[in-house]
Structure 1
C-alpha cells in the first residue's frame, strides 16, 4: 500500500521555496523602507521600479509554490534572519549607504537561492523542473537589480562622503549598460510568463504538463521507492487540481460551455479520483500491476486534458475577458493552495 506521499528531497525543496517567498516579502519591505529614507530623487525612482518588479515577482513565487504542490513553512533560521534584518533596516544605527549594501546582498542571496532550487530540481525530478520554471524570471530580474544596485551604491557612497556625484567611469557605464540590457530581456521573459497571476488556461496547462511528466517518470522506472515517490506527487497534484477546477473553473464556465459538457468533466474527474484511490492501495513492489493501473489512469486523464485544452479553453477565450481569465486564475490558485495545505496537514 502507498502510505507515504512525501519524499524528503521534495519536502526540502518545498521548504526552500517557502524561504524564497519569505525573503521576497522582506525585499519588498526593504524597498519601501529605503524609498522612505532615501534623500536622492534619482535613487528613489530606481527603488520604485524595483518595488514594482519585486511585487510582481512575489506573485510568480506564489504561483510556483502552488504548482510545485508541497506546502511548507520557512525555516527557523530564515525567520530569525528576517527579524534581525527588519530591525536593521528600521533603525538609525546604519547609514542609507550601509542599508543599500545590505539590500544588494539580499538580492544576491535571493538570486542564488533560486538558482540552487533550480539545480536541485534537476536532480530530483523532471516534474519539479516544470513546476519551478517561472522562477527563472525572478532569478533573471534579481540579477538585473544587482547590477543596477552596484551603480546606485557607487553614487550614494560618493555623495555621502563628498556631497557630490561620482564621475561616470568606464566601470559604471558598463554596469549600467548590463543592467539596462538585463532589464529589457527580463521584462520580455516576465511578460511571457506572468503578470501578477497567469490566466486560467496557462495555470491549467502547467498542471497538465507536470502530470504528463510524472506519468513519464513512472513509466521509466522499475524502482518501487521511486514509483511511490512519483505516484505520491501525482496523487496530490491531480486531487488538488481536480478539486480547484470543480470549485472555481467549472461553475464559471457552465453558462457558456454547457451543462452537458461540464457534467462530463465532473464525471471524468470522479472516475479519476476512484482510480487514484485504487492505485494508492497497491504495493508499488508489485511493479507490473501498479504500472498497468497507472497506464489506465494516464489514458483517462489524457482524454480529459485534451477536452479541456481544446473545447473548454476555446469557450473561455470566446466568452471571458482578460481580467476575468486572470481573476479565475487567482481564485484557482488560492483554492488549490488551500487544498494542498489541508492535504499536507492530513498526511502529517
Structure 2
C-alpha cells in the first residue's frame, strides 16, 4: 500500500493560499468601504477599477487553490489580522488618508505573500509551481495597485492637511510605474484582464500540465519515499479531475461530441481508475514493478490527454460560446473543490 502525500511543506503552502484568499476577500470589502467614504470623482473611478480587478483576482486565487488540490483553512494569525483590519476600516477614528495607507500596506503584504508562495513552490515541487502559475496575475496587479494608491495617498493627504489640492506630478509617475509593471506581466495580464474565471479548456489544460509534471517528477526521483508521495498526489489529482469531468464536462459535450466519442472518454477514465487502484495496492518497495505500472498508467493518461486537447477542445470551441465555456469552468472548479473536501473528510 503506497503512502499518501503528507508533506508538511505542501500543507504549509496550502495554508498560505487559504490566507491569500482570506486577505483578498478583506481587500474587496475594503475597496467597497473606501468607495463609500470617498467623494472625489477621480479617486472613486480608480477605486472602482481596483475593485473590479480585485474581484477578478479572487476568482484566480480560488482557481489556484483548486488546482493545487490541498484544501486548507486560513491561519489563526490571518483570522486575527482580518478581524482587526475590519475594525480599522469600519471605525470613524481614522481619516480617509489613514485608511488608504492601511489599504496600501495590505496590498504590499498581499504581493509579498504571493511572491513567497511562488518561491516556496520552486523549492518544494515543480508540480506545485505549475498549479500556481495563474497567481502571477494577482501578484503583478497587486503591485500595480500599490503604485495607484500612492497617488491617491498624495492627493488625499495634502487635501486633509492643507485644504488644498496637491500638484498632480505624482500621477504621471504612477501611470509610468503601472505601465511598466503591466509590461513586465505581459501576456499574463492580457489573458485574464477581462475574466473573473478561465474557460473550461484552460482549467483542464492546467490539470493536464500538473499531471505531466508529476509523472516527470516520479521518473526523476530515486527516493522511494518521494516516489510514494508523488504517486499519492497523482492519485488524488487524477481521481478529482476525472470525477469533475464526468459530473460537469462530459454530460455537457455529449450532444455535439457524440455518444461514441464521449463514452470512450468515460471508458478511458474507468480504466485509469482501475490502474490507479492497482498501483495503490501494490508494493512500492518493488521499485521496478511499481515504476513499470506507473509507466503504463502514464501512457494511458497521455493518450486520453491528447484526445481531449485535440478533438474535444475543438468541438467545445465550435459549439460553445465564451459564456458557456466560462460557465462550464465555474461548475468544473466547484465540483473539484467539493470532491477535494470530501477526500479530506475521508
TM-score (norm 2): 0.96
Q: How far apart are the structure 2 equivalents of 1:323 and 1:176?
A: 32
Q: How far apart are the structure 1 equivalents of 2:11 and 2:37?
A: 39
Match of 1:40 in 2: 40
Asked if the contact 1:222–1:287 (Cα under 8 Å) also holds between the matched residues in 2, the reply is no
TM-score (norm 1): 0.96
Q: How far apart are the structure 2 equivalents of 1:279 and 1:55?
A: 42
- Residues 1:98 and 2:110 aligned together: no
Asked if the contact 1:6–1:233 (Cα under 8 Å) also holds between the matched residues in 2, the reply is no
- Residues 1:174 and 2:173 aligned together: yes
CA offset at residue 187 of structure 1? 8.0
State the Cα deviation string for residues 164-205 of structure 1 (Å, max 9, x = none).
111234x65323321244356658523314711111111111
State the Cα deviation string for residues 72-94 of structure 1 (Å, max 9, x = none).
11111111110110011001111
CA offset at residue 96 of structure 1? 0.8
Give the aligned CA root-mean-square deviation in angstroms: 1.5
Match of 2:191 in 1: 192
Alignment size in residue pairs: 345
Match of 2:321 in 1: 321
State the Cα deviation string for residues 307-327 of structure 1 (Å, max 9, x = none).
111111111111111111111
Q: How far apart are the structure 2 equivalents of 1:47 and 1:184?
A: 21
Q: How far apart are the structure 2 equivalents of 1:185 and 1:165?
A: 32
Which secondary structure state, in structure 1, belongs to the residue aligned with residue 340 of structure 2? Answer: helix
Match of 1:152 in 2: 152
Match of 1:15 in 2: 15
Q: How far apart are the structure 2 equivalents of 1:181 and 1:271?
A: 50
Asked if the contact 2:4–2:233 (Cα under 8 Å) also holds between the matched residues in 1, the reply is no
Which secondary structure state, in structure 2, belongs to the residue aligned with residue 177 of structure 1? Answer: helix
Q: How far apart are the structure 2 equivalents of 1:88 and 1:190?
A: 32
CA offset at residue 222 of structure 1? 1.5
Structure 1 residues 292 and 314: CA distance shift in structure 2, 3 A: same
State the Cα deviation string for residues 92-148 of structure 1 (Å, max 9, x = none).
111111111000000000000000000000001111111100110100011100011
Asked if the contact 2:28–2:54 (Cα under 8 Å) also holds between the matched residues in 1, the reply is yes
Q: How far apart are the structure 2 equivalents of 1:160 and 1:187?
A: 37
Q: How far apart are the structure 1 equivalents of 2:120 and 2:285?
A: 27
Unpaired runs of 5+ in structure 2?
A: none
- Residues 1:31 and 2:35 aligned together: no
Match of 1:273 in 2: 273
Structure 1 residues 336 and 132: CA distance shift in structure 2, 3 A: same
Match of 1:310 in 2: 310
Match of 2:129 in 1: 129
Match of 2:301 in 1: 301
Q: How far apart are the structure 1 equivalents of 2:48 and 2:87?
A: 22
Q: How far apart are the structure 2 equivalents of 1:345 and 1:9?
A: 21
